Amino acid sequence: MDRNTFGRLCCLLSEVGGLRPGKVLGVAEQVAIFVGVLAHHKKNRVVGFDFWRSGATVSRYMHKVLGAVLNLHSVLLAKPTPVPDNCDDPRWKWFKGCLGALDGTHINVLFVYVLPGWEGSAGDSRVLRDAVFREGGLKVPKGFYYLCDNGYANTNGFLTPFKGVRYHLKEWGSVEADLEEACFPYTTDEESVASDYVESVEPSAEWSQFRDDIALEMWNSR
């Protein structure tokens, strides 16, 4: 995270999330502790040593920042809409019905679902299975899908690239692509979402053919 991103996060947590300077720590230090724990999985004792703070202080302000983050739910959690059939953006026009991307991406996106509690070493497919099948979990309307990296299986509702293939996508340009200016809106109305959802995360011949059809269409357009 660069300084500009960190500064914007602090402003967002302060202005929208309600995070305020404490008697001991300012907003920036509170957020730095919080981000350090999440990004590097540091223990309370290690963080306290790094910032010269007691364990009680670290724990107290971790909870304060977490509360501010939860207050951002209306900003960070959004209902996605699929890439429309009439999309002509060269980056997204191939992926009609795509709702977003999971993991391993280098694009600016908003969260649509967060599943805490899993250790970082857990396999992506295992976590995804839990997210789909748990009560109140990740809902993917049938006929739509998310783009995923190779840590997932290519299954209904989750489209992965071919294994062992190198991709050179010059049309993506900068990794700071602004999806809001592309054909990838963040909000939707209830009527645009199907009433039934993906209920299986097992590979299927039909889904493999769907991926093959997209790849062939992209190849033929070169």
77 secondary structure, DSSP code: B
- Could you read off the pLDDT of 146-187 as tens digits, one per residue? 888 888 889 989 998 888 776 655 554 544 333 333 333 333
Find the mean pLDDT for residues 128-150: 85
Contact call for residues 161 and 150 (beta carbons, < 8 A): yes
Report how far residue 208's alpha carbon sits from residue 60's, in angstroms, rounded to the nearest whole number. Answer: 49
Q: Which pLDDT value is given to residue 116? A: 72
Q: How confident is the model at residue 222 (pLDDT cuts 50, 70, 90)?
A: confident
Query: Phi/psi of residue 85, each to 5°?
Result: -65, -30
Report how far residue 112's alpha carbon sits from residue 116's, in angstroms, rounded to the nearest whole number. Answer: 13
Most confident region among 115-119, 168-172, 193-197, 215-219 by mean pLDDT:
215-219
Given a cut of 60, whether residue 7 has pLDDT beyond it is yes
Determine what percent of the chain is predicted with pLDDT higher than 70: 80
CA dihedral (74, 75, 76, 80) positive or negative: positive
- Could you read off the pLDDT of 67-96 as tens digits, one per residue? 999 998 878 776 778 899 898 888 888 899
Report how far residue 109's alpha carbon sits from residue 166's, in angstroms, rounded to the nearest whole number. Answer: 24
Q: Which pLDDT value is given to residue 27? A: 96
Q: Which pLDDT value is given to residue 80? A: 75
Which of 211, 208, 185, 194 lies closest to 78, judged by CA?
A: 185
What are the extents of the domains in the chain? 3-75, 77-222
